[in-house]
Chain A
């Protein structure tokens, strides 16, 4: 388990997302209207759409490909759709963002 510094809160637009490229794939980091930060794999459980490109509303994001709505908190698909995105912990230390990458050590070895 490693906390990796990924940037600052203001690097991500309000109600928007940025990506972090890691050895285990692309992670989407979201910033909500009330400055909460969430991270998950940048891949919709439906057809692998890039969730980071979706519209962020409340604590959800709508996938740009087929409008699935994914909860940023739990990573699960909302409404009638069923699916799960892997989420990661992300920490906001006075504006500095740290992402927890569990498999980083594996990559480092």
Chain B
């Protein structure tokens, strides 16, 4: 008979335990999880990249809904357990939901410590513990200002870095003389403090907070020495306390945490405890690696085995982009200890090994952490290092004269060497799984082995193992790079531009390690668009990175002449406009005049030198550029609508003109063509456009993602709205969403297919806040985009574009 297993808590430790359990003893238990949070299981180590914007929530989900379903796990979300009845073996949640158990696992985790200084209950005082905290931080960060982080430990510094990335000023207050004093020795702490200072993070050490200031929200803090630091947010990152209240109330033995034996059992043999709430041999762990080791032991016990958890040796890495830091063991000085130190100030490298009896007992690496796992392995195993002492500090590749080839170093690792510290995965497990399951991509290896699936620091090692195991069959370029200048795909580049606050093309190329000095004709226009889109007020458009048509605001033809298309709002024109066009055609002897598919007039065969004069004449009649050359808003095609047509239901012409006047000038990933039809007969052909509107009696049906070019595709329905104002708002929001997410040259239908129609509908139709955000950002960027490029050039801008540098040879020839 299947036994009933109930788990209180849905964090990483029980999640990992279940993964192991389902592998060892599938179907042995009927599992129910009580989860106080309203979410599935996500990777808490990755909160820092979420805060800094380098990852999204979806990226850090460990078990999605499908996993629970597939494994028959009942997940009760938002169910906070308030009582354990050991007599009847039942647990009860605050909302009355109850379950009985044969085996119970308490995995209630820990709570952040909030120092009870005056003002600690003010709004704006936050912990840094779960996704709710991160969301609240991001909300406050949106308005800028200063964040004060109390606590210069691992978590505090990661929070500080993330908030800085979100555009806040950041001050870290730390009680001790050096930061991360539990993991770093003073020299490494100094280098870290300097590196963080270079990134704009102020760190005040030996500082104690006396009070948090403010009346109805945080306004700053006061230190013991009287200094006052103004700020909008206080993040407390001073430590955690195991959540043992529930266990204590149930009468289990509790010290600091819930006391467990080597089999992870509490004082009640049917109740186990796991994770940060548990205390094993007097130690409460807060890092993920030891929790995963104990999770493995518990899974074995529940599967009928007799594994014993022996406690863990831990190591630490800081997840701050661009700072490499590794620390493990004990590095305090003592008479019976020796140290080996390597410093390279120019390269910003500091390495220190602490030895006792010819064995490594502590390691601090700053700047170059490649050998971290090797040193850690030697330390955990207590290997005698006397034979290689002289060159030990140079790392593994120096031993035995092995070449300085990272592949050789990985090849030389023993099968039981730990590769992924977060998830405790060793080399042998990775290579054997690759072979046994025929894995070929990094994501598959992550899914099957969990290696590099958490903090990702070991990704390089895992990739080398894949190369080693698969040879040529391993293709690391699972993501198509933007171009040959980078290995990054468009999405990563867009994400990192925001996350790292990159605001110029040289900054992008430097920070993202472009392989060429100034890019190529593929990446430069893409980067220019991304920067124009993301920083409309700050980025100075780089014309030399635009394709010629966008640089001279006309369309180049096969013979090097240009075509000129003025805007005709909604396809409506007048005698005066037509007369002005006719005059231009005569004056400049325009060889071809053609009506376009977008309801306007194209003048073809104009010499480049004549463009400013043509525009000047057109401008006098009120014409502006039709942007027929732009990766931006092109035309809004309309039918005559209710003003004239006997079938028209709404003023389709008026809406079309309104849309065009609102949206002209905006740059988009690829060209954007709109149409508005006044009734479902659809004379404006709105159902094959990028965005189309079909007017009906009851309102406006908004369509999008059509195509009528290389591919032919009818539009999808976004939704229906009642008023013209709403139609405008929804269409503009949709356009902005596409602007922010689209890959350069990716038409809206391809973008929609990639991100999913339902997701787009959810954000634009159902989420008023999201919609308003998109709309507002579009309106803001229009302030900088709605400048007629033709009149600018008539007034003299970019003069050099339109005339030769010099005309030579003729006058000299005459002499």
Contact = CB atoms under 8 A, between A and B. Distances in A.
A103 to B, nearest CB: 9
B520 interface: yes
A7 B813 contact: no
Contacts of A56: 544
A29 B544 contact: no
A23 B521 CA distance: 31
B554 to A, nearest CB: 11
A11 B805 contact: yes
Interface string B519-546: 1110011000000000000000001111
A6 B806 contact: yes
A29 B516 contact: no
* B543, B549, B806, most chain A CB atoms within 10 A: B806
A49 B560 contact: yes
A30 to B, nearest CB: 11
Interface in A1-40: 4, 6-7, 11-16, 18-24, 26, 29, 33-34
Contacts of A101: 808-809
Given A55-B544, A104-B812, A7 B516 contact: no
A53 interface: yes
A108 B813 contact: yes
A52 to B, nearest CB: 9
B484 to A, nearest CB: 10
Given A23-B813, A53-B556, A104-B812, A7 B806 contact: yes
B518 A33 contact: yes
A107 B814 CA distance: 9
A15 B812 contact: no
B804 A19 contact: yes
A23 B804 contact: no
A56 B517 CA distance: 12
Given A15-B544, A18-B800, A65-B558, A57 B805 contact: no
Given A15-B518, A33-B517, A62-B520, A7 B805 contact: yes
Given A23-B810, A23-B813, A18 B805 contact: yes
Contacts of A88: none
Contacts of A34: 517
Contact of B521 (A12, A29, A50, A62): A62
Nearest to A16: B544
Nearest to A55: B521
Contacts of A19: 804-805
A106 to B, nearest CB: 10
Contact of B545 (A6, A55, A69): A55
B808 A20 contact: yes
A49 B557 CA distance: 9
Given A55-B545, A65-B556, A107 B518 contact: no
A54 B551 CA distance: 10
Contacts of A62: 520-521
B804 A21 contact: yes
Interface in B775-815: 800, 804-810, 812-813, 815
Interface in B487-528: 516-521, 524-525
Contacts of B525: 55
A34 B517 CA distance: 10
A21 to B, nearest CB: 4
A11 B516 CA distance: 26
Interface in A48-95: 48-50, 53-58, 60, 62, 64-65, 67, 69
B544 A14 contact: yes
Contacts of A26: 804
A14 B542 CA distance: 11
A27 B718 CA distance: 52
Nearest to B806: A6
Contacts of A47: 558
A20 B805 contact: yes
A57 B521 contact: yes
A28 to B, nearest CB: 10
A33 B525 CA distance: 16
* A20, A22, A55, A58, most chain B CB atoms within 10 A: A55
B548 interface: yes
A55 B485 CA distance: 15
A1 B664 CA distance: 52
Given A64-B548, A65-B558, A57 B808 contact: no
A13 B221 CA distance: 51
B751 interface: no
Contacts of B804: 18-21, 26
A79 B568 CA distance: 43
Contacts of A20: 804-808
Contacts of A23: 809-810, 813
Contacts of B547: 55, 64
A57 B548 contact: no
Contact of B519 (A24, A48, A57, A64): A57
B805 A58 contact: no
Nearest to A62: B521
A23 B813 CA distance: 9
A109 to B, nearest CB: 8
Contacts of B810: 23
Contact of B800 (A11, A55, A107): A11
* B524, B544, B807, most chain A CB atoms within 10 A: B544
B555 to A, nearest CB: 11
B88 to A, nearest CB: 74
Contacts of B805: 6-7, 11-12, 18-20, 29
Contacts of B809: 4, 21-24, 101, 104, 107-108
Nearest to A29: B805
A24 B548 CA distance: 25
Contacts of A21: 804, 806-809
B558 to A, nearest CB: 7
Contacts of B558: 47, 65
* B521, B525, B807, most chain A CB atoms within 10 A: B521
Contacts of A53: 548, 551-552, 556, 560
A20 to B, nearest CB: 5
B800 A54 contact: no
A61 B545 CA distance: 12
Given A21-B804, A22-B808, A57 B518 contact: yes
Contacts of B800: 11-13, 18
Contacts of B806: 6-7, 20-21
Nearest to A6: B806
Nearest to A24: B809
A4 B524 contact: no
Given A6-B805, A107-B809, A108-B813, A67 B544 contact: no
* B548, B551, B815, most chain A CB atoms within 10 A: B548
A23 B809 CA distance: 6
A39 to B, nearest CB: 10
Contacts of A60: 520
Contacts of A7: 805-806
Given A58-B516, A58-B518, 17 more contacts: A4-B808, A6-B808, A7-B805, A15-B518, A18-B804, A19-B805, A21-B808, A55-B524, A55-B525, A55-B545, A55-B547, A57-B518, A67-B521, A69-B521, A99-B808, A107-B809, A108-B815
20 contacts: A4-B808, A11-B800, A11-B805, A13-B543, A18-B804, A18-B805, A20-B804, A20-B806, A20-B807, A22-B808, A33-B517, A48-B560, A50-B556, A53-B556, A55-B521, A55-B524, A57-B519, A57-B521, A60-B520, A108-B815
A-B pairs, 4 with minimum CB distance: A62-B521, A18-B805, A23-B809, A53-B548
